[in-house]
Amino acid sequence: MPHLTSLTLHRSELAPNVVEEMFGVFSENFEQTSPAIFQRDLNNKNWIILIRDDETNKVQGFSTLGIYETDYQGQRITAVYSGDTIIRRAYWGTPELPKKWIHTVLEKTADMPQPVYWLLISSGYKTYRFLTVFYKEFYPCYSQPTPPETQSLMNFLASHRYGDDFYPDLGVVRFKDGATPLREGVAEVTDERLSDPHVAHYIKVNPHHHLGDELVCLTRVHPDNFTPAGRRMAR
């Protein structure tokens, strides 16, 4: 397998041919793909992580990030929200993307003294599993109910970002224009997968994920909240 390298760019630095490569990776993983909707989502982000292979220098994966500051209940906070986070099937399980993601967020928020929260929406359990592997405390989680104060913050951030497409009673974002369900085979829910309590809980709280419903999740990005695996990624 070719070695992977990663690079973080501001969205304004993306060349049109790179955006086309990214859309190619996106189209392999999602149904109902549209270049216009993909570009619209990209325009709402400010940082792009590109994963390339050394042999061909082609884009093999990427993640899009929006990082901004806001006030919540009289406190300044930083919010990180993720767009598409995808890597080609041949590279599933490789650490380059999560490692670069954590490094990028820590670097871009290093001078911000306020708490940093990751607002993640996910239409497949594989992206949700980033939380379970790299963070000690995150919500929703099978092992404990979401605290009211955390739920309030989640609702605030999701409403601000997704407006009427966010359904707080369901805890999901349901895009009226541009829902993109995963293609068959990308995140199959098998009996073996359901034996993982995190995956089972994800399916329970987001039963219409196969239609493109995105589960709203929240965690704090801080070294104290990293699992041992998260700390390894942050080195």
pTM of the model: 0.92
Strand partners, 61: 51, 87
Predicted confidence band of residue 37 (pLDDT cuts 50, 70, 90): confident
Determine the Cα–Cα distance for residues 220 and 109; give it in Å rounded to an integer. 12
- Over range 14-41, report the average pLDDT: 87
For 177, half-sphere exposure in the C-beta direction (CA atoms, 13 angstrom radius) is: 7
Residue 198 structure tokens: 């995190």
The residues, any chain, with a CB within 8 Å of residue 57's CB and separated by 6 or more, are none
The residues, any chain, with a CB within 8 Å of residue 16's CB and separated by 6 or more, are none
Model pLDDT, residue 27: 86
- Can you list the domains of the chain with their CATH numbers? 4-234 (3.40.630.30)
Predicted confidence band of residue 34 (pLDDT cuts 50, 70, 90): confident
Model pLDDT, residue 84: 79
Model pLDDT, residue 111: 92
Q: pLDDT tens for residues 160-195?
A: 999 999 999 999 999 987 656 555 654 556 666 788
Model pLDDT, residue 211: 84
Rounded percentage of the chain residues whose pLDDT exceeds 70: 92
Q: pLDDT tens for residues 199-233?
A: 999 999 999 988 889 999 999 999 999 999 999 99
Query: DSSP character for 105?
Result: H
- Over range 44-64, report the average pLDDT: 95
Evaluate if residue 235 carries a pLDDT over 80.
yes
Mean pLDDT, the chain, integer: 91
Q: pLDDT tens for residues 120-156?
A: 998 888 889 999 999 999 999 999 999 999 999 999 9
Q: Which of 19-33, 51-65, 157-171 has the lowest mean pLDDT?
A: 19-33
- Over range 69-90, report the average pLDDT: 92
Spatial CA neighbour of 199 closest among 215, 179, 213 = 215
> Residue 164: is it exposed, middle or buried by C-beta count within 10 angstroms (0-12/13-18/19+)?
exposed
Evaluate if residue 88 carries a pLDDT over 50.
yes
Spatial CA neighbour of 120 closest among 188, 65, 69 = 65
Largest Cα–Cα separation, the chain = 50
